[in-house]
């Protein structure tokens, strides 16, 4: 049965206010075809569980080393653990016994029916606010069968549904799911394929096809989200080009999201380098100046 499908998720956030209309529960799925170096949720990029270690929480007790049956944990001179992630089988034994919660594993397998039961706990808030379920990621379409089952089950339970996507997925999947989605939050990062591909490993041909089809068939429920990234798209010329493209598609609702580096600590926890620390200056002032003309032309632009 469709309701038996399992999804790999890394978080469920209740009472979210910025991921669609009203009060919402956001289900974050793992797996993404893009590799954006500023990603705020790097643990979402891969489908497998991810070991995360917080050095600031660790009391260097050494218990985790003895618990690891794969020899994936050794100790540094100061007593802090050193993880060999190639040997870790994500059994979770070290995290279960870590009293300081310095070790955790991001990602778990949950069934559609189980997820929906949790989402329905807040039905009264959705009904009062016009909210519902938002599926985010990662990239939700990376787990297409599970995504489709989840939003179908949500709609059959009378819930408003939203999906946040980067747009890089087979076009047939968008056509198959659109009947079940009330709101699409589409992250548009650039409109120059030569700039987009080497930085994000993204295929703008695929993204453009999906976006332009959505704009033609689903304009009233489509919101464009444009993250402003210093050194990538955060300049007047690039932002104008993006807004001009969007205006030509007839899209009216646009959210401008200035860059932040709130995910930096997650990179440390994953033993990954964070290479995107740029001097971003006054992004809001620049964005307001650029957006002024497009607001006069009828675009509904919100700068976070």
- C-alpha span between 133 and 160 (Å, rounded): 6
Q: Collapse the DSSP code of 132 into the 3-class scheme (helix H, G, I; strand E, B; otherwise coil) and give the result.
A: strand
Q: Which CATH class is domain 2-47+108-303?
A: alpha beta
* Six-digit token string for 295: 């607001």
The pair of structure tokens assigned to 94 is 């070290």
| Count helices and strands in the chain by DSSP H and E runs | 11, 13
Confidence (pLDDT) at 280: 64
| Calpha distance 69→55 (Å, rounded) | 22
Domains 2-47+108-303 and 50-105 share a fold: no
Q: What pLDDT does 1 receive? A: 43
pLDDT at 114: 96
What is the mean pLDDT of each successive set of 10 residues along the chain, which is 304 residues long? 80 95 97 94 93 96 93 94 95 94 96 97 97 97 97 97 98 96 97 96 97 95 94 94 95 93 92 79 88 94 93
**Token pair of 215, please?**
């704009």
- Residue 170 is predicted with a pLDDT of 97
Please enumerate in sequence order all residues whose Cβ is within 8 A of that of 100, keeping only pairs 6 or more positions apart, or say none. Answer: 57, 58, 59
Q: What per-residue confidence (pLDDT) applies to 302?
A: 95
Work out the angle between the directed axes of helices 112-119 and 144-156 (0-180°, nearest 10). 40
Report the first-to-last Cα separation within the chain, whole angstroms: 41
**116 close to 157: Cβ distance less than 8 angstroms:** yes
- Angle, in degrees to the nearest 10, between helices 193-200 and 204-217: 110
Whole-model pTM? 0.93
Crossing angle (nearest 10°) for helices 236-249 and 204-217: 40
Cβ-Cβ contacts under 8 Å for 60 (sequence gap 6 or more): 75, 78, 79, 80, 81
The 8-class DSSP code of residue 298 comes to T
In the DSSP assignment, the letter for residue 179 is: G
Q: State the Rg of the chain over Cα.
A: 21
Sequence ranges of the domains in the chain: 2-47+108-303, 50-105
Fold assignment, 50-105: Alpha-Beta Plaits (3.30.70)
Which pLDDT score is estimated for 3? 57
């Amino acid at each position: 049965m469709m309701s038996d499908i399992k999804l790999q998720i890394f978080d469920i956030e209740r009472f979210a206010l910025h991921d669609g209309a009203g009060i919402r529960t956001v289900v974050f799925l793992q797996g993404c075809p893009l590799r954006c170096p500023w990603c705020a949720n790097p643990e979402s990029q891969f489908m497998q569980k991810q070991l995360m270690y917080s050095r600031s929480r660790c009391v260097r007790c050494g218990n985790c080393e003895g618990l690891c049956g794969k020899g994936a944990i050794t100790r540094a001179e100061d007593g802090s653990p050193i993880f060999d992630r190639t040997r870790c089988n994500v059994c979770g034994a070290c995290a279960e016994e870590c009293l300081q919660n310095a070790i955790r594993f991001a990602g778990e397998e949950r069934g559609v029916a189980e997820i929906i039961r949790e989402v329905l706990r807040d039905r009264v808030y959705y009904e009062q606010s016009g909210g519902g379920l938002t599926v985010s990621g990662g990239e939700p379409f990376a787990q297409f069968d599970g995504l489709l089952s989840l939003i179908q089950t949500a709609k059959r339970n009378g819930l408003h549904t939203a999906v946040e996507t980067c747009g890089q997925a087979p076009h047939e999947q968008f056509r198959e799911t659109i009947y079940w989605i009330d709101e699409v939050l589409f992250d548009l990062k650039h409109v120059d394929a030569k700039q987009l591909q080497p930085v994000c490993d993204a295929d703008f041909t695929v993204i453009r096809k999906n976006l332009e089809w959505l704009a033609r068939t689903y304009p009233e429920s489509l919101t464009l989200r444009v993250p402003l990234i210093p050194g990538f798209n955060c300049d007047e010329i690039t932002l104008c080009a993006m807004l001009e493209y969007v205006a030509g598609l007839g899209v009216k609702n646009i959210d401008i999201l200035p860059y932040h580096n709130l995910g930096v600590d997650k990179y440390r926890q994953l033993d990954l380098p964070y290479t995107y620390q740029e001097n971003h200056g006054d992004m809001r002032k620049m964005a307001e100046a650029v957006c002024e003309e497009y607001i006069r032309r009828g675009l509904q632009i919100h700068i976070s």
